Amino acid sequence: MYSEKLKILCLSAILLVCLNMLTAQNYPTPDELKTSFENLAKSNQGKVKIHPLAVSPGGNQLIVAELGNEKTGLKNPAIFVLADPEGTNPMAAYASTILARMILKDEKNLNFTWYILPTLNPDALKNYFSKVLWKNPRNATVFNDDQDEVADEDGPDDLNHDGFITQMRVKDPLGTMMIDETDKRLLRRADPAKGEKGIYTVYTEGIDNDNDGTYNEDPPGGVNTGVNFPHLFKPFTTTAGLWPGSTPEVYALMKFIFQRPEIAASFVMGNTNFCLVPPEGGRKSTVDYNKIVIPDNMLESFNAEKGKTYTITELIELLQPYIEDDFEITPAMIINVLGLGEIINPLSEDVTWYKELSDQYKVYLKKSGFDLERLGPEKAKDGSFELWSYYHLGVPAFSFNFFTLPAYKAEKKDSSGISTAKLEAMKGEDFTALGEDVILKILKENNAAEKYKPLEVIEMVKSGKTTPKQLSAMLKAMPKPKSDSTLKALISFSDKNLKGKGYIDWQPYKHPVLGDVEIGGAVPFTLNVPPFAWADSLINLQLPWIFTLVDKLPQVKFAKYEVKDLGKDVWQIEIWVENTKYLPFPTAMGQQNRNAAPCILTLEADSLEFLSGYKRTPVRALGGLKATKLTFIVRLTRGKAIKASLESKSMGNDSLEIKLQPSK
């Protein structure tokens, strides 16, 4: 009787929490996220379990929820989903709970194991729920930013007690900012070349707590978990951490992922969007492993020709005859000896499918009625999880940002009305039909360099030298007065959708040191976090694309086999192994870093003897929708069968019985 009561009590408690989630008025806190997943595990036993990952420097327990089929789980490929890598995106963190529910809705999703980490930086995410709103991506590690005698002593202060850390502007003869004539609430940098003089200096709201003449230069906290990963880690910066993986959240995550070679892809829900905008190339790099020039002082060692370019394979072939028989030269040794360095731009083979999938995603979003005319997502930062996944893990790395502000549209009557997105979709003849005046406006609106004249552009499009799509890409790449357009978008969004609450107009304030100042500016998080009421529809519209992508992950199957009787119980067996899905195994980058666990083809039968080939054959790469042929010569009594199996950590398994009779 007693236990029955207890049961009801427990159920009520769970129900209450669930109801709370349903009727929540705000994004979940780190603790609520954890509880939400713990409850999900309770109500989905056998499908959901919780792994404790690490305890943050601020004492918050990080968890990874594992969703999968307990019976087949061990054999299934896995997906890793990291929400909110920096602790600055409560919407992304919330999306992790929606994703979990989406996954559980359809049993076929559990053909994969899903690992979901609801936030990597709970210390920072807590800032969103504090009394004073301030976007600070640092965890609770103590860091002495200004290298003085005290740490974390000079952060911003909410001087006017409005609950936000905004900005202070003060009239200053040395000021560089002036009022933006398009909207008096905005400031812009004065351009002395145009005869403009700055009148304001802008500070973050606060006082000089440590009296060192600098404002808010040593705020609380230390490491941004979103930039503490090893790829392009930036040492000697204030938020990256002492070394890659120096903070326990990141170290534990790298370890967790590497312990699970079944992870076939990574998804981030945060501030970047690799689904829409593939990882950026164009970093300065001299690394091209297919065009290696041997430096003069090593020509002799490599037996190479001066000025000639080589691939790594060619260099190995050059060296091997001079090396002892039992020593194998690996590509890594060549890269190391020549000091070639890491790959830092996405490899062209990978860019191809990234672009194709991005185009498909745009179509998908358009069909769903999603407005693509938004501010672009953030670029992946050096040291980020996104870059690490692609470059160091070598898996397809995708990311979503569910919200950016609608792009600012100038309301002037003489606007061209043509955004870069519109331009991209235009046909050549439609573009030229716009005429010189409109095209001039388009060029100006996008800050095109002076050298681009409307007539020439029309001519280029007509002659096929360029397309509106290429033109759109070129215009997007033009340097923009970023803060201006972003702030304009923000203020316009705030006016239209937040009743002006996303931007605080300047209010006078008597500052203890600076004297008469004005406090105002963008409300923290307005840029990347919409009102909670919008969250579900935005997430539900974009997130299902994850299942389309997951369905494109490589899957290994036997395509066919052929047996040839060579006589006297000797057989030639040809086996075609195929990847039935769109994405390659592994990515081109994965082929370079050799981290993917190989797929193993095993041939077994009693008394099976291999004359050519081996019992276990690793298949280390399989292109998307491609097959590879493996040939064996074996000896086995006629009529017997060989059990062939394919075992892959990340691509699934397959098996086949090969009958020893000649193929027809």
Identity of the residue numbered 283: R
Q: Does the footprint of another protein cover residue 243 (CB under 8 A)?
A: yes
295 lies in the binding site for another protein (CB under 8 A): no
Count other C-beta atoms under 10 Å from residue 37's C-beta.
24
Buried b (16+ CB within 10 A) or exposed e, 448-481: beeebebeebbebbeeeebbbeebbebbeeeeee
Q: Which of 65, 223, 254, 491 is close enough to bind another protein by CB under 8 A?
A: 254
Interacting residues with another protein between 162 and 201 (CB under 8 A): none
Contacts 24+ apart (CB under 8 A), 477-484: 478/446, 478/447, 478/448, 478/449, 479/447, 480/446, 480/447, 481/188, 481/189, 481/447, 483/188, 484/180, 484/186, 484/188
Residue 595 interacting with another protein (CB under 8 A): yes
Nearer CB in complex with another protein: 259/463: 259
Which segment (145-153, 197-205, 471-479, 634-642) binds another protein by CB under 8 A? Answer: 145-153
By CB under 8 A, residue 304 contacts another protein: no
Asked if 211 touches another protein (CB under 8 A), the answer is yes
Per-position x/- string for 485-514, each x denoting binding to another protein as judged by CB under 8 A, each - no binding: ------------------------------
User: Could you say which residues in the range 395-454 bind another protein, by CB under 8 A?
Assistant: none
Q: 664 and 277 in contact (C-beta within 8 Å)?
A: no
- Choose the binding region for another protein from 14-22, 421-429, 461-469, 592-600 (rule: CB under 8 A): 592-600
Nearer to another protein, 206 or 530 (CB): 206
Of 381, 392, 488, 552, the one binding another protein by CB under 8 A: 392
Minimum distance, C-beta of residue 66 to another protein, in the bound complex (Å): 21
Q: How far is the CB of 634 from another protein (least distance, A)?
A: 14
Neighbours of 361 (CB within 10 A): 21
The reply to whether 148 sits near another protein by the rule CB under 8 A is yes
Kindly give the residue spans of alpha helices, DSSP state H, lying in 341-400: 348-367, 385-388
126 contacts: CB under 8 Å, gap ≥ 6? 29, 30, 58, 60, 87
SS3 label, residue 592: helix
Closest to another protein by CB, 40 vs 312, is 312
Of the candidates 528, 410, 417, 420, which has an alpha carbon nearest to the alpha carbon of residue 88?
Answer: 528
Q: Which H or E run contains 278? A: none
Which ranges of 180-271 would DSSP assign to H, the alpha helix? 248-258
607 near another protein, judged by CB under 8 A: no
Smallest distance from another protein to CB 600, Å: 5
247: alpha, beta or left, given left = phi > 0 and alpha = psi -120 to 50?
beta
| Nearest Cα to Cα of residue 567 among 658, 659, 664, 660 | 660
Question: What residues numbered 334-373 form the site for another protein, per CB under 8 A?
Answer: 335-337, 339-342
In the complex with another protein, the residue whose CB is nearer, 4 or 324, is: 324
| Interaction residues for another protein, span 309-338 (CB under 8 A) | 324-326, 328, 330-333, 335-337
Provide the binding-site residues for another protein, judged by CB under 8 A: 144, 147-149, 210-213, 230, 233, 235-236, 242-246, 251, 254-255, 258, 324-326, 328, 330-333, 335-337, 339-342, 391-392, 592-595, 597-598, 600, 614-616, 618, 620, 647
